[in-house]
């Protein structure tokens, strides 16, 4: 049953990847139709709603091949250069065995033990504790790890995280996530382009509104033009704005196609690779609330082992909570949960905060001639005489 569920998940990912790609073209056509509606309103004023819809449909048919080529070109660019885009955002750099022998050997051993092709290995300089996999085919697959993760986790825990990312590659989760990022990017780009075009046109036309309205007032005797012209334009503009907002919203919620169960399956796959559920649990506990990548987009965070960013009421969260994942590993893999774990870096941060003087208080003097146990900066108080052979005779 477990194997059937896993293979069903993999085939479902492939099907949803193709479905999302088809949906990308559909959203592009919706945006083109909305843009055509806006253009027709400002090109032909005082017409009926049916006229604008008919003209926009003709414009869509004329622009259909160009929109298709633009969408295909975007997919081709993202297919070949998406890793470069991700590296530009995260600062990840490829490393060799000589540069990172510890990390490289752990990943290579996992790949050899299961006959998995070795993905590229990248390291990004960040104190955050996180890692992610990317790529659309075997030649592009890459696993990126932060320096903070390498410093905070031991070998077994790092191996568990690498096993988690390798499972994402094996299960086809990486392709689906990257395609979702591509769709959100292209639809968001064109949606913003059309929205800016619409706002610019509306502002530019506001200045000439008086002259156009005065010229149309001379023909106000025509009841058809008067009754359906202004109202039709307003209705069409509302429809266009609604279509643009709908396309943008769908591009943002497309990540809901990424089932959150993929993280649970990746955790289970890591345990299957390493035979060590406790290492996966302690790795998650250490990563918990420490995985935020400064400057990273939400699309990149959705690729990571843990995404601390949550949507409205957890509805749009792309990852289950760490507690949920740990409970699953305890229940089904026989692991042991140590609970939330503190790291040495946390203690250092707390000590730094404790050393800072309270607001409004003078700094505590430091050095061989001061005593931090005595109040400082208060008139009439001085440190006591030093004790020892050179102190006062008692």
> Tens digits of per-residue pLDDT, 169-193?
988 888 877 877 777 777 767 666 6
Of the candidates 40, 157, 165, 263, the residue annotated as catalytic is 165
The reply to whether 165 belongs to the active site is: yes
Please report, for the chain, the start and end positions of each structural domain, with discontinuous segments joined by +: 2-74+176-204+227-257, 93-174+259-333
Identify the band that residue 4 occupies on the pLDDT scale cut at 50, 70 and 90: very low
Predicted TM-score of the model (pTM): 0.71
Kindly list the strands in the beta sheet with 131-134, ordered across the sheet, starting from the edge strand earlier in the chain: 93-94, 120-124, 142-146, 131-134
Q: H-helix or E-strand containing 143? A: strand 142-146
Q: Which two tokens stand for residue 215?
A: 């010229």
Which DSSP letter does residue 92 get? -
Q: Which of 138-147, 323-332, 353-362 has the lowest mean pLDDT?
A: 353-362
Q: Considering only residues 217 and 38, tell me which one the structure prediction assigns the higher pLDDT.
A: 38
The predicted structure's pLDDT at residue 161: 97
77-91, 191-205, 209-223: which has the highest mean pLDDT? 77-91
62 Cβ partners below 8 Å, 6+ apart? Answer: none
What share of residues in the chain are helix, strand, coil (percent, to 5)?
65, 5, 30
Question: In a 3-state reduction of DSSP, which class is residue 267?
Answer: helix
- Architecture, CATH, for domain 93-174+259-333: 2-Layer Sandwich (3.30)
The predicted structure's pLDDT at residue 226: 42
Q: Given CA atoms 285, 158, 110, 303 in this order, what sign does their dihedral have?
A: positive
Asked if pLDDT for residue 58 goes beyond 90, the answer is yes
The string of pLDDT tens digits covering residues 98-152 is: 999 999 999 999 999 888 899 999 999 999 999 999 998 888 899 999 999 999 9
The predicted structure's pLDDT at residue 379: 47
């Amino acid at each position: 049953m477990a194997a059937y569920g896993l293979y069903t998940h993999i085939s479902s990912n492939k099907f949803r990847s193709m479905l999302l790609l088809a949906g990308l073209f559909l959203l592009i056509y919706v945006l083109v139709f909305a843009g055509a509606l806006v253009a027709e309103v400002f090109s032909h004023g005082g017409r009926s709603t049916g006229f604008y819809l008919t003209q926009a449909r003709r414009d869509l048919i004329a622009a259909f091949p160009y929109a298709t080529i633009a969408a295909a070109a975007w997919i081709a660019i993202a297919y070949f250069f998406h890793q470069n885009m991700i590296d530009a955002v995260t600062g990840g750099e490829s490393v060799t065995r000589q540069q990172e022998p510890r990390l490289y050997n752990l990943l290579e051993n996992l790949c050899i033990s299961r006959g998995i092709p070795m993905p590229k290995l990248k390291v990004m300089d960040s104190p955050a504790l996180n890692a992610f996999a990317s790529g659309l085919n075997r030649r592009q697959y890459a696993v990126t790890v932060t320096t903070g993760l390498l410093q905070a986790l031991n070998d077994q825990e790092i191996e568990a995280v690498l096993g988690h990312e390798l499972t994402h590659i094996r299960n086809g989760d990486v392709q689906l996530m990257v395609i979702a990022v591509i769709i959100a990017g292209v639809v968001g780009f064109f949606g913003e382009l059309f929205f800016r075009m619409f706002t610019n046109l509306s502002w530019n036309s506001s200045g000439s509104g008086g002259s156009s309205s005065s010229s149309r007032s001379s023909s106000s005797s025509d009841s058809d033009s008067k009754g359906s012209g202004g109202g039709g334009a307003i209705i069409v503009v509302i429809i266009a704005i609604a279509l643009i907002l709908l396309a943008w919203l769908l591009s943002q919620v497309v990540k809901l196609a990424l089932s959150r169960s993929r993280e649970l399956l990746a955790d289970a796959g890591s345990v299957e690779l390493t035979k060590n559920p406790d290492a996966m649990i302690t790795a998650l506990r250490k990563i918990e609330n420490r995985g935020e990548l400064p400057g990273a987009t939400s699309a990149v965070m959705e690729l990571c082992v843990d995404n601390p960013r949550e949507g409205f009421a957890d509805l749009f969260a792309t990852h289950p909570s760490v507690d949920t994942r740990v409970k699953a590993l305890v229940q089904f893999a026989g692991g042991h949960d140590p609970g939330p774990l503190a790291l040495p870096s946390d203690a250092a941060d707390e000590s730094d905060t404790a050393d800072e003087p309270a607001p409004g208080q003078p700094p505590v003097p430091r050095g061989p001639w001061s005593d931090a146990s005595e109040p400082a900066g208060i008139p009439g108080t001085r440190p006591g005489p030093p004790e020892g052979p050179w102190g006062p005779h008692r």
